Amino acid sequence: MYAFDIAKPATLAEAVQAMKTGEAQALSGGQTLIPTLKQRLAAPSVLVSLAGVGEMKGVSAKDGVLEIGGAATHREVAGQRHYPGLAELAGRIGDPAVRNRGTIGGSLANNDPSACYPAALLASGGSVKTDRREIAADDFFQGMFATALEADEIITAVRLRVPEASNYQKFLQPASRFALVGVFVARHADGVRVAVTGASEGGVFRWTEAERALSADFSAGAVSGLKHPADGMISDIHGTPEYRAHLIGVMTHRAVAAAS
């Protein structure tokens, strides 16, 4: 580690101001940022802790939309009952220590290609609220570890449409508990959305072919014959592109069967 200052704002306005100080970096749960600092892969001069900003906490639901504060922990998301599919996803992130510290805003801002929340947000047709604007999920994710956020922008809340039915299936990598491949299926009144995480070199994405099939017939049989191409899939020690492409079909089938 190295020397840096820590700012502990109590309000969003104070946090926004602190982010303009030097080379500041927002600190939410720290589950990704702290290991990054230890490895000297980032070197901010100021860490702006968002843990004390009450405006960025809490979970509420109104008119079919679930709003979650950017500083809400995975444990809090898992405990809400408005969106069961999302609660189940959050309850399977990492381990108890991670769920008690990690936050939904921090996860989305980092946009790890194997993280779970990006798939939920994309499948929900949701949006990310920041200190200055609201960004639709379809525009927010811009590739591996890349988002539409500006360097000093803070995620204040996340909004998700609560679907009629949903399920998330994750084939996890047992050491990290990240998704080797994860698929979130959500059936809305205007159609079905299918989001895939962990598989692509470009990060989370929607499987439009499966969406069309499921919008016409929301049943596991509707996707039984579909195969996702291996082009652009991740290749590493855990699996080949072909293996991940195959898992997309398997996880989608399981998610639909569970949701229906």
Structure confidence at residue 95 (pLDDT): 92
pLDDT value for 41: 81
Asked if 83 and 42 touch (Cβ cutoff 8 Å), the reply is: no
pLDDT at 36: 85
Q: What is the pLDDT of residue 119?
A: 98
pLDDT of residue 1: 61
CA distance 184 to 59: 21
C-alpha 101/C-alpha 72 separation (Å) is: 9
Q: How far is CA 182 from CA 19, 36, 93, 115, in A?
A: 33, 24, 12, 9
SS3 22: coil
In residues, how long is the chain?
Answer: 260
Instruction: Identify the burial level of 44 via C-beta atoms within 10 angstroms of its C-beta, where 0-12 means exposed, 13-18 middle and 19 or more buried.
Output: middle
Domains of the chain plus CATH, in order, are 5-49 (3.30.43.10), 54-161 (3.30.465.10), 165-259 (3.30.390.50)
pTM (two decimals): 0.95
pLDDT means per 10 residues, the chain with 260 residues, are 86 95 87 84 88 95 98 97 98 94 96 96 98 98 96 97 98 89 98 98 97 98 96 96 98 97
Q: How many CB atoms lie within 10 A of CB 101?
A: 18
Kindly give the pairing relationship between strand 59-62 and strand 65-69: antiparallel
Residue 115: HSE in the Cβ half-sphere, 13 Å Cα cutoff? 27
